[in-house]
Amino acid sequence: MHARLTEAWEPDPQLLGGRIALVAGGAQGIGQATTRVLAAAGATVVVLDNDRESAEPLAREVERSGGSAVPLIADLREEAACKAAIDRTVSDFGHLDILANVAGGMSKHAQWRPLREWTTDTWDAIVHLNLRYVFWLCRAAVPAMEARGGGAIVNVASIAGAFGCPNQAPYGAAKAGLINLTKTLALECGPSGIRVNAVSPGVTLTQAALGTMHEQTRAELGRLTPLQRLGRPDDIARAVLFFASPLSDFVTGQTLLVDGGVSVTFPYEGLGR
């Protein structure tokens, strides 16, 4: 049997050498794993997050382990802050090569509910957190990447963007929108050498996801997953690394589902036997 990739896997530290990466929502969960993986691959990582208490120690940890990361505290709900974050990165480091849009999810205040029970405010909050800031960051980043002669944008969507999504309508709609935005930007930016791709995680073990899930549900979801476990933040970060790096130089407009095989499960299992 082949040895499995483990959490101990480390990328080639030259893979992203000299690259400047901005990770939006880079302080916790999948974003934190993305910050660590991109830094381990040699990038200087700007950790854009509104959670100072997580972003600053993470940047220090990366520096201690020989990598390069700086926190940039900003609120992605603010248009001016998004533009300023890109401008600041370019003025501090000279250029921007990689933009990973990871922040998102169901707002902490939003319960799962049928469509008729969503308010305009909660709908907007979720769509903004998963889609609108990506537009703002990309709009500011693309000219900087064009000036550099190319770049890579990686959006973290969700399998929820690929299927109907009962009780999570704004989340599913926003992630489907993000997948479409990925394709559109790929077409618009391809001639400038900017690649745009998305990673769609299945259920992934972050505090945000675990907080809404009973232990029993978690076990059941793992059992229903072809690879027999839920995702780890690192699983998703490695896919982001692939799209951010020259390993995917001829790949753009794609969405990679990193879900342990859930999305290819046959829905009529047992039928016709």
Ligand X SMILES: NC(=O)c1ccc[n+]([C@@H]2O[C@H](COP(=O)([O-])OP(=O)(O)OC[C@H]3O[C@@H](n4cnc5c(N)ncnc54)[C@H](O)[C@@H]3O)[C@@H](O)[C@H]2O)c1
Q: Does 158 bind ligand X (CB under 6 A)?
A: yes
CB of 160 to ligand X, least distance (A): 6
Q: Tell me the window of 7-15, 43-51, 185-193, 219-227 that interacts with ligand X (CB under 6 A).
A: 43-51
Listing DSSP states for 150-199 in one string gives: -EEEEEE--GGGTS--TT-HHHHHHHHHHHHHHHHHHHHHGGGTEEEEEE
Q: Does 203 bind ligand X (CB under 6 A)?
A: yes
72: three-class secondary structure by DSSP: strand
Which tokens is 2 given? 């082949």
Q: Does 196 bind ligand X (CB under 6 A)?
A: no
CB of 33 to ligand X, least distance (A): 8
Q: Which residues pair with 23 in a beta bridge?
A: 47, 100
Q: Does 260 bind ligand X (CB under 6 A)?
A: no
CB neighbour list of residue 21: distance below 8 Å, 6 or more residues apart:
38, 43, 44, 45, 46, 97, 98, 99, 100, 244
Query: Is 268 annotated in the active site?
Result: no
Residue selected from 20, 28, 41, 256 as contacting ligand X according to rule CB under 6 A: 28
Q: Does 25 bind ligand X (CB under 6 A)?
A: yes
CB of 48 to ligand X, least distance (A): 7
Catalytic residue among 159, 171, 203, 244: 171
- Cα–Cα–Cα angle for 149, 151, 152, nearest 5°? 165
Measure the CA dihedral 10/252/96/72, to 10°.
-70
Q: Tell me the window of 49-57, 59-67, 113-121, 218-226 that interacts with ligand X (CB under 6 A).
A: 49-57
Q: Does 177 bind ligand X (CB under 6 A)?
A: no
Q: Does 107 bind ligand X (CB under 6 A)?
A: no
Question: In the chain, helix, strand, coil percent, each to 5?
Answer: 50, 15, 35
Residue selected from 42, 104, 172, 177 as contacting ligand X according to rule CB under 6 A: 104
Which spans of this chain sit near ligand X (rule: CB under 6 A)? 25, 27-31, 49-51, 54, 75-77, 102-105, 129, 156, 158, 201, 203-204, 206-209
